[in-house]
C-alpha cells in the first residue's frame, strides 16, 4: 500500500477529530489516536469485524489519576474495503471516530444506538 494512501487516510482521521465540537475536544484527556492498517487476528476473534477500537478507562470510571493513556485505533483497510469513494470513506471515518471517542466519555454501545450513532464499530 502506498504511503500516499496511508497519509490520505490519516488526514481523514485528523479532519474527523478537527470537526468534533470544541467542548468534546477540550474534555478529551490522556488519549492517543492512531491509525493501523487492520486489527490483529486476536482482536478480530474477540470483537468480530472492527473499524475502530477504544482501549482504556472511560472518563466516567476514573477516580484517582494518573492513568495510562487511553488508545483509540482506527483501522484503515476495513474502512477502505467498505467504500471506494473518498467521500464515503470520510463519512465512515467520521462515524468511527465519533463512536470510539464516545466510549472514551463512557457512552455505551446501547446508548450510542439510542442516539443514532451506533452503526460504526
pLDDT at 118 over 90: no
- Looking at residue 114, its pLDDT comes to 81
For the question of whether the overall pTM of this predicted structure is more than 0.95, the answer is no
C-alpha cell at 96: 468511527
Q: Please tell me the chain's helix, strand, coil percentages from 3-state DSSP, rounded to the nearest 5.
A: 55, 15, 35
Q: Which residues contact 48 (CB under 8 A, 6 or more apart)?
A: none
Report pLDDT digits (tens) over 15-54: 999 998 888 888 888 899 999 999 988 877 777 789 999 9
Percent of the chain with pLDDT over 70: 94
Amino acid at each position: 500500500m502506498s504511503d500516499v494512501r496511508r497519509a490520505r487516510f490519516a488526514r481523514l482521521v485528523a479532519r474527523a477529530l478537527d470537526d468534533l465540537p470544541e467542548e468534546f475536544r477540550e474534555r478529551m484527556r490522556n488519549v492517543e489516536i492512531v491509525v493501523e492498517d487492520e486489527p490483529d487476528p486476536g482482536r478480530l476473534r474477540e470483537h468480530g469485524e472492527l473499524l475502530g477500537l477504544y482501549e482504556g478507562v472511560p472518563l466516567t470510571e476514573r477516580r484517582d489519576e494518573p492513568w495510562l493513556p487511553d488508545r483509540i485505533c482506527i483501522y484503515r483497510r476495513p474502512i477502505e474495503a467498505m467504500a471506494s469513494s473518498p467521500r464515503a470513506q470520510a463519512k465512515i471515518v467520521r462515524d468511527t471516530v465519533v463512536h470510539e471517542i464516545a466510549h472514551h466519555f463512557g457512552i455505551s454501545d446501547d446508548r450510542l444506538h439510542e442516539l443514532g450513532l451506533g452503526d460504526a464499530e
